[in-house]
């Protein structure tokens, strides 16, 4: 069996689900636009530059989850999927996932974005397995804190290895391993798989992929 790993934001999605969740909450009047948007943009610039403080970002990004009841958040997410996410899913992205599904591959989305935001997106793609940063829950409600290792940069390797260990597997147990990503932040994991593929890559990943002879594709 082969393993096909997909980054989510700006890879399978033609946009960023984390950023758009904030924009959605602003549009609903649940976040202060001036304060939240400026901070969100600053964090996103740090991410693109490879200098993101992931824990500072998660303190910022998970706080809104702690300010609303889970039932309200679930209802909001359904609206967010319709307004923000489905328009960012291209036919090419769906076709790529379907190609691997038809090949009988094990499919997984592995993303730094928290699992509350991303679980329904994985289901939209028909992908059963998701590794996302895990927001802490107490009695079914979010606390605004994170559990375990954030799935960001080398944290994706840590989380993937933990998941594989639970299945008594390693990457070497698969005939072939794939990882599709747009971001140089994912280079640590891309270097570990058999078939790294740069998808609509940022400038740093584009340059690295060209030098390494990796495929470069567009899903836009």
- The Cα 192–Cα 160 span in angstroms is 11
* Contact (Cβ atoms closer than 8 angstroms) between residue 15 and residue 7: no
Spatial CA neighbour of 10 closest among 155, 197, 196, 200: 200
pLDDT by residue (tens digit) across 134-181? 999 999 999 999 999 999 999 999 999 999 999 999 999 999 999 999
Enzyme catalytic residues:
7, 9
- The Cα 157–Cα 173 span in angstroms is 16
Which residues, 6 or more positions from 97, have their beta carbon under 8 angstroms from its beta carbon? Answer: 6, 12, 107, 125, 126, 127
* Contact (Cβ atoms closer than 8 angstroms) between residue 43 and residue 36: no
* Contact (Cβ atoms closer than 8 angstroms) between residue 109 and residue 130: yes
| Residue 92 confidence (pLDDT) above 90 | yes
* Contact (Cβ atoms closer than 8 angstroms) between residue 179 and residue 195: yes
**pLDDT for position 34:** 86
**pLDDT for position 127:** 98
pLDDT by residue (tens digit) across 115-133? 999 999 999 999 999 999 9
Task: Report the chain's mean pLDDT, rounded to a whole number.
Answer: 96
**Mean pLDDT computed over 64-79:** 96
pTM exceeds cut of 0.85: yes
Which residues, 6 or more positions from 204, have their beta carbon under 8 angstroms from its beta carbon? Answer: 50, 184
Q: How far apart are the first and last CA of the chain?
A: 28
Which residues, 6 or more positions from 130, have their beta carbon under 8 angstroms from its beta carbon? Answer: 108, 109, 110, 111, 115, 118, 119, 122
- The Cα 193–Cα 190 span in angstroms is 6
**Mean pLDDT computed over 194-210:** 98
Position 40 confidence tier, pLDDT thresholds 50, 70, 90: confident
Position 8 confidence tier, pLDDT thresholds 50, 70, 90: very high
Position 37 confidence tier, pLDDT thresholds 50, 70, 90: confident
Burial of 66 (0-12, 13-18, 19+ CB in 10 A): middle
DSSP 82: I
Q: Which domains does the chain have, with CATH numbers?
A: 2-217 (3.40.50.1000)
- The Cα 75–Cα 129 span in angstroms is 23
DSSP 2: E
């Amino acid at each position: 069996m082969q393993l096909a790993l997909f980054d989510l934001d700006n890879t399978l999605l033609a946009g960023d689900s984390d950023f758009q969740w904030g924009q959605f909450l602003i549009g609903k009047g649940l976040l202060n636009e001036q304060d939240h948007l400026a901070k969100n943009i600053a964090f996103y610039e740090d991410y693109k530059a490879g200098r993101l403080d992931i824990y500072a970002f998660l303190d910022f990004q998970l706080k809104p989850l702690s300010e609303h009841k889970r039932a309200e958040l679930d209802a909001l997410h359904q609206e967010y999927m319709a307004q923000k996410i489905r328009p960012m899913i291209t036919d090419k992205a769906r076709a790529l996932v379907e190609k691997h599904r038809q090949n009988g591959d094990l499919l997984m989305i592995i993303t730094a974005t928290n699992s509350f935001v991303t679980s329904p997106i994985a289901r939209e793609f028909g992908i059963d397995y998701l590794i996302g940063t895990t927001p802490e829950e107490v009695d079914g409600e979010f606390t605004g804190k994170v559990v375990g290792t954030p799935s960001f940069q080398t944290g994706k390797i840590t989380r993937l290895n933990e998941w594989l260990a639970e299945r008594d597997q390693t990457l070497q147990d698969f005939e072939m391993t794939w990882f599709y990503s747009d971001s140089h932040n994912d280079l640590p994991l891309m270097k570990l798989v058999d078939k790294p593929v740069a998808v609509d890559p940022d400038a740093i990943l584009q340059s690295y992929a060209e030098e390494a002879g990796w495929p470069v594709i567009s899903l836009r």
